[in-house]
Amino acid sequence: MKRSGGSAVGIKQTRPVVRAGTVTTPAGVRAAGGHCGIKPERPDLALVVTDAPAVAAACFTTNRMAAAPVQVSRSQIASGRAQAVVINSGNANACTGEAGRRDAWEMVDLTAGALSMSRGLVLVASTGVIGVPLPMDALRRGIPALAGALGPHGEDAAAAILTTDAFPKTGAVEIEIEGRAVTLGGIAKGSGMIHPCMATTLSMVTTDAAIAPALAQAALRRSVERSFNRVSVDGDTSTNDTIFLLATGAAGHAPLTEAADPAFPIFQDALDALTEHLARLLVLDGEGASKVIEVSVSGAASEEDAQRAGEAICTSPLVKTACHGGEPNWGRIVAAVGRSGAEVDPDRVAVSIGGVVVVAAGLGERANLPAAAEAMRAAEFGIAVDLGLGAGQWTGWTCDLTERYVRLNSGYLT
């Protein structure tokens, strides 16, 4: 459907600014979060509900050991509609066999019953320790309790989905379509086991925009590819990675039905801005991390080559430990690029760290190393690689690898 009118339609905008907000910032969404007993004390259960059935989209982990809630929600999302999402933390319900699948379906049924809605409108997600059965008695108490506590409590929901996170990840974006205010809000969790593939950690985005299911799915997948799929903490992809998008349509504009709609790029830009914001927060809160590093690759022979080179840098333990120590060891960077599978001409490679050139035409700029080391003292800095071969480019985000990461993950169960 083509439109005219409305100050935002057809006008190229600067990227929307992410502000404070959560999944309850858009119209037509309520939430609750609290403690049901999966964890000893901290919040461990979240519920997000729309006032009426909403358009729904999702992306899930490509890990073949996909957890039971991923299997259930993959089935549920096929309708393109949902009204409730229930998420527990402290237990991943992964590698729990048929019993785990029954428990995930029981979470669906408990939620549907507590909210008096069809089970087909309920999505489920879990995060936490792998291989441990869900304590269903806690959920049988907790889900009805949260259903009775729904309100503008997005912060409570954001806190309830955390595991080793140091802080909740939240944000919201406001745009205008056809003269009407449209809002997107999101929450996310993740600190370790982060290297998403066609998914995220656990994240949820809501919006009061009106959009067709197929277009919502396409928009979400594009945003995920440009945000969550470009971050890495430790190179591990979880069994439970999930992102949900629910669109209530409460903003009141005519539905977006095709990518050619002049208003669709405005929505896509807003979704991109929000997912990138949430993804960057995951890296900022990486387990044991003290620095955030933006990795950019340009001049690659193809976009695929740029991605190969960028991901090799982002996941290299040697690069990440050098970043922690503030050591401009560019040899580790070019070695990662060289093994990435990307086309490389060693005599054309250039590397900058923190804006300081350390490699030009394949040769080190030794006199610049002290300045690069100084730049690496910052909490955030960039590594830029130019392969000098073409127009391919890619940008992603990683963090340093510290002693604290090892301590956290060598005693996770004990």
Give 149: exposed, middle or buried? Use CB within 10 Å, 0-12, 13-18, 19+: middle
How is the chain split into domains, by residue range?
29-284, 292-409
CA atoms within 13 A on the CB side of 370: 1
Residue 7, pLDDT score: 36
197-212: per-residue pLDDT in tens?
645 579 999 999 999 9
Is 173 in contact with 16 (CB distance < 8 Å)?
A: yes
Q: Read off the pLDDT of residues 352-409 as tens digits, 9 standing for 90 and up.
A: 999 999 999 999 999 999 999 999 999 999 999 999 999 999 999 999 988 888 877 7
| 328 HSE (CA, 13 A, CB side) | 28
Q: What are the residue numbers of the active site?
A: 200
Are the CB atoms for 385 and 308 separated by under 8 Å? no
C-alpha–C-alpha distance, residues 17 and 224, integer Å: 18
Q: Candidates 3.20.20.70, 3.10.20.340, 3.30.70.141, 3.30.420.40; correct CATH number of 292-409? A: 3.10.20.340
- What fold does the segment set 29-284 form as a domain? L-amino peptidase D-ALA esterase/amidase (3.60.70)
Answer yes or no: same fold for 29-284 and 292-409.
no
The distance from CA 397 to its chain's CA centroid, rounded to whole angstroms, is 12
What are the tokens at 86? Answer: 């229930």
CA distances from 72 to 46, 63, 66, 93, 117 (A): 17, 15, 10, 12, 17
407: which 2 tokens? 């301590």
Low-confidence ranges of the chain (pLDDT < 50): 1-12, 198
pLDDT at 265: 97
Supply the pLDDT for residue 200: 55
Q: Order the strands of the 356-360 sheet from edge to edge.
A: 231-232, 392-399, 292-300, 380-386, 350-353, 356-360, 363-364
Percent of the chain exceeding pLDDT 70 equals 93
- Structure-block tokens of residue 65: 């050991």
